[in-house]
Amino acid sequence: MSPKPLDYESLNENVKKVAYAVRGELYLRASELQKEGKKIIFTNVGNPHALGQKPLTFPRQVVALCQAPFLLDDPHVGILFPADAIARAKHYLSLTSGGLGAYSDSRGLPGIRKEVAEFIERRDGYPSDPELIYLTDGASKGVMQILNTVIRNEKDGILVPVPQYPLYSAAISLFGGSLVPYYLEEEANWGLDINHLRQSVAAARMKGITVRAMVIINPGNPTGQCLSEANLNGLLKFCFQENLVLLADEVYQQNIYQDERPFISARKILLDMGPPMSKEVQLVSFHTVSKGYWGECGQRGGYFEMTNIPAKTVDEIYKVASVSLSPNVPGQIFMGLMVNPLKPGDISYLRFVAESTAILESLKRRAHIMTDGFNSCRNVVCNFTEGAMYSFPQIRLPPRAIEAAKSAGKAPDVFYCLKLLEATGISTVPGSGFGQKEGVFHLRTTILPAEEDMPAIMTSFKKFNDEFMEQYEDYRGYSRM
């Protein structure tokens, strides 16, 4: 029998090292149960439309018209589409050379990159160069591209928050680099302590690791915290001192549920600092159409903006982008629509604002419902979801539960989440998928289930949890770090 060309053993080791829990064991088990007929509530991924959130009307009208430009010539088109959608479709089609079906510039359509630059300028108060903005098939592809550019070998380290969105750990594994963790402080509302950063860097360097970049996720995923101006200031200075490129994942910038810490972009803080730092600190900022109140995950629309990256490096990044030819054009148009919103007076403006506001206000209410709901459960402590789309409660598992997990061959939080799934149909992601301190357990859920379903979901969770705790608790109480 001839040798098998592709056995597990002969796969790229880096591929084998990759773990991505968001669609890992819990999700696969939930899908199995769903096939068997069980009702599953998927809260494993930030996927708003899958949980009933409706798409905003205006962008869908515009993109539909762009897909079928012959509609624009039809005399009846005005019956189905408002005039501003028609005008906007014509605008975006004019930015293409050949409509939606032609590869665009590998960086994305220049006209849309210009709209992104204008958005950034309005938001931050500083001009942005469209030549340094690259549209991508979702922010994830952009993150992967940049990490692949930075990581040369296993001696290159990337500072990543713990807990983190596991795209980062997966990408670092895939590209053969080293993840250098910096722990967020759960007791300080998932705050970032520069001292801890310094310690992480020092420890990495002692092991011979060259720390090259720092990732921040602001607002945080899974933790939801919004970084303060002082925080951003401090970490930018840190990057300046330690010569790190800052990778600022800002995909949740529209999802803010408190007033104390509004979103401020890393770029704004950097430019506020003035020279030399504003001219030297290297920064790449990421954004997407998948989150916010748009939630258009399936379109795969995103961008990254480069600050202080040398021209030759930009050329190399361009070169790699060109190998994939171009990002998908409809996704680019969604991005254009997101950064270039309707204005008061536009026909569709009021409806657009009503739809957007309803979504954001509901998300805020759901953030509270979930946080409060978790905090009412036995042995569960949950920081408030200040931003993003997730809740990351700490589950204080009793020692006997941890033992039971061990006997079942599962990590304790995986054990808990599987039991939760079997009992209630709620599909979460165990905290180990995101990283957590040794012996401290969490799960990540989204705040995305429909508002009217929330009370029932939280009741169901509480019932399961409190029964679980009763089953596994002994007189010594709960387990804690």
Instruction: Looking at residues 25 to 54 of the shown chain, list those that interact with another protein (rule: CB under 8 A).
Output: 45, 47-50, 52
Q: How far is the CB of 227 from another protein (least distance, A)?
A: 9
Sign for the CA dihedral angle at 169, 171, 173, 179 comes to negative
| Closest to another protein by CB, 220 or 412 | 220
| Closest to another protein by CB, 320 or 354 | 320
CB 106 within 8 A of CB 142: no
Distance separating alpha carbons of residues 322 and 159, to the nearest angstrom: 28
Binders of another protein in range 418-457 (CB under 8 A) = none
Binds another protein (CB under 8 A): choice among 25, 118, 131, 137: 137
Residue type, 458: M
Q: How far is the CB of 282 from another protein (least distance, A)?
A: 6
Phi/psi for 287 (5° steps) reads -145, 170
323 binds another protein (CB under 8 A): yes
**Among 184-192, 250-258, 420-428, 469-477, which window interacts with another protein (CB under 8 A)?**
184-192
Distance separating alpha carbons of residues 210 and 158, to the nearest angstrom: 9
| Closest to another protein by CB, 308 or 376 | 308
Torsion angle (degrees, nearest 10) of CA 44, 446, 379, 417: -10
Binds another protein (CB under 8 A): choice among 93, 162, 233, 263: 233
CB 212 within 8 A of CB 241: no
Distance separating alpha carbons of residues 398 and 416, to the nearest angstrom: 11
210 binds another protein (CB under 8 A): yes
Distance separating alpha carbons of residues 386 and 258, to the nearest angstrom: 6
Binds another protein (CB under 8 A): choice among 36, 37, 76, 474: 76
Binders of another protein in range 257-296 (CB under 8 A) = 273, 276, 280, 282, 290, 295-296
H or E segment to which residue 90 belongs? helix 83-95
Q: How far is the CB of 353 from another protein (least distance, A)?
A: 19
Could you say which DSSP state residue 477 is in? B
Binding pattern to another protein, positions 77-96, x when CB under 8 A? Answer: x-xx---------------x
Q: Which residues contact 338 (CB under 8 A, 6 or more apart)?
A: 59, 289, 292, 294, 301
202 binds another protein (CB under 8 A): yes
Sign for the CA dihedral angle at 221, 222, 223, 224 comes to positive
**Among 115-123, 150-158, 388-396, 429-437, which window interacts with another protein (CB under 8 A)?**
150-158
**Among 123-131, 223-231, 263-271, 462-470, which window interacts with another protein (CB under 8 A)?**
223-231
465 binds another protein (CB under 8 A): no
Phi/psi for 112 (5° steps) reads -80, -35
| Closest to another protein by CB, 194 or 481 | 194
Cα-only R_g, the chain: 23
**Among 57-65, 116-124, 374-382, 458-466, which window interacts with another protein (CB under 8 A)?**
57-65
